[in-house]
């Protein structure tokens, strides 16, 4: 996959109603995007895939939907007020702001592309060290040493590197004088931590158990780029798994394997995934790894798996004065109850927008079709059938002779179970192509023969093979091809 393909994916996403820049009539808003009529279907299906795999398939994981606004002390306890920042640097000529680590990473990618492996490794090691030490002056001297220029002005006239907190704040309360500063949540996880006891008690949950949720998170990213890869408003799907202290390593390994298998089931190519261990842990973690995906612009983080220790619950206990303890009645090897403790937590956290982007990029294909004068390129999204925005499109060959009525009747029978698309305009070939571009796995055409013998043509998206089948068989084919067990089993 190349940068050129990436540009095509971005314009395809807009042309076919998957993703639009937010408030586009006002020239857009930096790093904020809207999902269109087809994008929202794909996004909902991906969210469902996650929810089913995490909640429905695990008896010991339940879901919640916590509010975006949380008590301001939450963010003190979680460490986000003091520690959730990125090193930033400004170019004095272009007045553009950059993440210092990102400028250096871009240089590493450039060296890799040029085959300068030694240079890339040398800079990576230096970057790891300054990142680990949070050495702001160190970032600046690397930027100078490697002669990194501003991509806009082309100059090396840089400010010092400073820390920049990524949380958005606003005021709660109608009157300015009663107003309290609150934050838009930068991660969904804290809604789970503060509800740990509510869920444990009301659900009579026994350790080990998990709480999952999906929802919006907000970060004032210094640089936002690569389409929906790095957004200021995005969606996370997170699960906190509460375990007995001392067992976190074993659960961390379990979730690493479980999550990468889940991604690979999508069929986007096993080689497109890899683990990347963190050199510098987030302020809450004692072990952390990313699952990276091979996007057209290189391997980048798709999901994080973090061993968060008892950091969050312990701090919430301290700041709220409420006990965040669990009573474990099970007996250890000496026959003694484990008793009261603050559980340790292993977290899985995947960005829904990044997942969407991985699926869109890997499914986008341009294929040469036809021969001679009829040679053409078709664009197809080879999505897993269950994830496609529409599962089936139904076309009457013409707008008359009773064909639309038969097509409508088929839709009326299918629409309770499958999202169906109806279209009667344009030549049939054009209609097929439009559905290919949306990823619709099946097209059904009703023609004059249908009037005589109750058969239709079914066309398969990936092979473009067409078959004549009885109308009564459509359901059987859909049921065998469009079902969750293909991904979940």
Binding-site string for ligand GAP from residue 237 to residue 256, where x marks contact by CB under 6 A and - marks none: -x------------------
Residue 221 CB, shortest distance to ligand GAP, in Å, is 5
Name which position in 221, 401, 413, 424 contacts ligand GAP (CB under 6 A): 221
Residues that contact ligand GAP, how many (by CB under 6 A)? 19
Q: How many CB atoms lie within 10 A of CB 400?
A: 9
* Candidate segments 157-165, 202-210, 231-239, 463-471, binder of ligand GAP by CB under 6 A: 231-239
CA 472 vs CA 415, 441, 464, 482: distances in Å: 15, 18, 21, 17
Residue 231 CB, shortest distance to ligand GAP, in Å, is 4
Residue 219 CB, shortest distance to ligand GAP, in Å, is 5
* Candidate segments 96-104, 192-200, 229-237, 384-392, binder of ligand GAP by CB under 6 A: 229-237
Helices (H), 16-172: 39-51, 73-77, 80-83, 100-113, 117-133, 136-145
234 binds ligand GAP (CB under 6 A): yes
Binding-site string for ligand GAP from residue 277 to residue 306, where x marks contact by CB under 6 A and - marks none: ------------------------xxxx--
Judged by CB under 6 A, the chain residues 27 through 86 that form the site for ligand GAP are none
Residue 180 CB, shortest distance to ligand GAP, in Å, is 24
Judged by CB under 6 A, the chain residues 311 through 350 that form the site for ligand GAP are 347, 349-350
Judged by CB under 6 A, the chain residues 347 through 406 that form the site for ligand GAP are 347, 349-351, 353-354
β-pairing verdict for 298-309 and 287-295: antiparallel
CB 242 within 8 A of CB 261: no
Name which position in 43, 99, 230, 316 contacts ligand GAP (CB under 6 A): 230
Q: Which residue is nearest to ligand GAP (CB)?
A: 351
* Candidate segments 17-25, 70-78, 234-242, 448-456, binder of ligand GAP by CB under 6 A: 234-242
Residue 109 CB, shortest distance to ligand GAP, in Å, is 19
Residue 190 CB, shortest distance to ligand GAP, in Å, is 8
CB 60 within 8 A of CB 54: no
Name which position in 231, 313, 386, 444 contacts ligand GAP (CB under 6 A): 231
* Candidate segments 4-12, 15-23, 204-212, 228-236, binder of ligand GAP by CB under 6 A: 228-236
| Residue nearer to ligand GAP on the CB measure, 10 or 393 | 10
CB 340 within 8 A of CB 329: no
436 binds ligand GAP (CB under 6 A): no
- Site of tokens 């969904």: 188
Residue 257 CB, shortest distance to ligand GAP, in Å, is 17
Joined tokens for residue 300: 């980048």
* Candidate segments 100-108, 233-241, 254-262, 314-322, binder of ligand GAP by CB under 6 A: 233-241
CA 246 vs CA 61, 163, 281, 344: distances in Å: 20, 34, 19, 8
Joined tokens for residue 198: 């509510």
CA 43 vs CA 34, 417, 435: distances in Å: 11, 18, 18
Joined tokens for residue 99: 């993440």
| Residue nearer to ligand GAP on the CB measure, 303 or 447 | 303
CB 381 within 8 A of CB 434: no
Name which position in 54, 103, 189, 387 contacts ligand GAP (CB under 6 A): 189
Contacts 24+ apart (CB under 8 A), 375-381: 378/433, 378/436, 379/12, 379/433, 379/436, 379/437, 380/436, 380/437, 380/439, 380/461, 380/462, 381/436, 381/437, 381/438, 381/439
Residues 6+ apart with CB under 8 A from 40: none
First to last CA, the chain: 29
Residue 159 CB, shortest distance to ligand GAP, in Å, is 23
> Which residues contact ligand GAP (rule: CB under 6 A)?
187, 189, 219, 221, 230-231, 234, 236, 238, 301-304, 347, 349-351, 353-354
């Amino acid at each position: 996959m190349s940068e050129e393909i990436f540009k095509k994916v971005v314009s395809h996403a807009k042309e076919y109603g998957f993703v639009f820049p937010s408030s586009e009539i006002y020239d857009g808003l930096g790093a904020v995007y809207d999902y269109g009529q087809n994008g929202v279907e794909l996004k909902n299906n991906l969210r469902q895939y996650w929810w089913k795999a995490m909640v429905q398939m695990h008896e010991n994981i339940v879901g919640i939907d916590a509010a975006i606004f949380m008590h301001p002390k939450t963010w003190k306890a979680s460490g986000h007020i003091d520690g959730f920042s990125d090193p930033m640097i400004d170019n004095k000529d272009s007045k553009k702001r950059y993440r210092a680590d990102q400028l250096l990473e871009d240089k590493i990618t450039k060296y890799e592309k040029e085959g300068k492996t030694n240079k890339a490794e040398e800079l990576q090691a230096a970057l790891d060290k300054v990142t680990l030490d949070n050495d702001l002056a160190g970032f600046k001297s690397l930027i100078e040493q490697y002669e990194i220029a501003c991509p806009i002005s082309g100059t090396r006239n840089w400010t010092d590197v400073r820390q920049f907190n990524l949380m958005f704040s606003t005021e709660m309360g109608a009157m300015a004088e009663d107003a309290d500063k609150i934050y838009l949540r930068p991660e969904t996880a804290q809604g789970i931590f503060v509800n740990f006891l509510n869920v444990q008690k009301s659900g009579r949950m026994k350790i080990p158990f998990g709480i999952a949720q999906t929802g919006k998170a907000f970060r004032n990213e210094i640089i936002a780029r690569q389409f929906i890869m790095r957004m200021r408003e995005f969606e996370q799907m997170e699960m906190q798994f509460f375990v007995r202290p001392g067992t976190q390593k074993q659960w961390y390994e379990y979730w690493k394997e479980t999550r990468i298998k889940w991604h690979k089931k999508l069929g986007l190519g096993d080689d497109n995934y890899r683990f990347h261990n963190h050199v510098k842990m987030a302020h809450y973690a004692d072990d952390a790894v990313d699952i990276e995906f091979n996007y057209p612009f290189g391997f980048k983080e798709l999901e994080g798996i973090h061993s968060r220790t008892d950091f969050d619950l312990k701090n919430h206990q301290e700041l709220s004065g409420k006990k965040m303890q669990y009573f474990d009645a099970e007996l250890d090897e000496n026959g003694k109850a484990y008793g009261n403790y603050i559980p340790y937590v292993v977290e899985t956290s995947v960005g829904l927008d990044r997942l969407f982007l991985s699926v869109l990029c890997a499914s986008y294909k341009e294929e040469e079709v036809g021969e001679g004068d009829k040679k053409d390129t078709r664009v197809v999204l080879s999505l897993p059938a269950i994830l496609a925005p529409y599962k089936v499109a139904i076309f009457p060959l013409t707008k008359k002779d009773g064909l639309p009525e038969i097509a409508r009747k088929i839709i009326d029978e299918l629409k309770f179970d499958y999202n169906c698309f109806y279209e009667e305009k344009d030549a049939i070939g054009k209609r097929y192509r439009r559905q290919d571009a949306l990823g619709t796995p099946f097209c059904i055409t009703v023609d004059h023969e249908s009037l005589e013998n109750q058969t239709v043509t079914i066309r398969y998206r990936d092979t473009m093979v067409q078959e004549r089948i009885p109308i009564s068989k459509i359901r059987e084919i859909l049921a065998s091809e469009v079902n969750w067990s293909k991904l979940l089993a």
